[in-house]
Amino acid sequence: MGEISHVKLLGVNSWFPQYYANGRRCTTFQNLNKFCWFGPLESERDLVTLFAFLGDCPSLERMEVDFRDRFWNGFGDFICMNFDEPSFVELESGGEELHVGCLYRLKAVDMLNISGYKCERGLLKWLLQKALVLETLYLEFERVGDESGKELLLEYVSGLPKASSCIQVLYS
């Protein structure tokens, strides 16, 4: 992981938390200013590992998350054959707390194909609490035409505490 600790753009898939959590953390991704995540968040451990990684990215300004079950590998899309409904969980308050500093430079977050699973909501909540200068949160919903699901998620987001006073939530 040390070889890539100086990159400015990093795109990973949902296998990344397993790799990163198994002792392959580098001290910091000092130059990373754009991070892209492709795939679902499948467990609380993946979510906590992602939080820890983002805490190691002091220059991060932009983040794109695509929750589809497709993974980019540099040559094209592969479809993940997952026939079971994924079991998503939300971090429980009162449990072991992860101490990660704030995201001081994160200005824009795009979340594509969001469905409102608990881990997706957990990521939203954490980002809104930690991103001090977040200007834009863009949400693109997975199910086109599911207006009630979209409204529930937007209501959830509007009720969350936000570290940034200038955030604009956009959606489609």
Pick the closest to residue 169 from 108, 104, 106, 103 (CA basis).
108
Please give the average per-residue pLDDT across 157-170, as a whole number: 95
Q: Over 50: is that where the pLDDT of 151 sits?
A: yes
- CATH code for the domain of 151: 3.80.10
Question: How much is the pLDDT for 24?
Answer: 57
Q: Over 70: is that where the pLDDT of 171 sits?
A: yes
Residue 70 banded pLDDT, cuts 50, 70, 90: very low
- Return the H-helix or E-strand segment holding 137: strand 136-141
What percentage of the chain exceeds 70 in pLDDT? 74
What is the domain count for the chain?
1
Parent domain of 36: 2-171
**Rounded CA gap, 50 and 68, in Å?**
17
Residue 108 banded pLDDT, cuts 50, 70, 90: very high
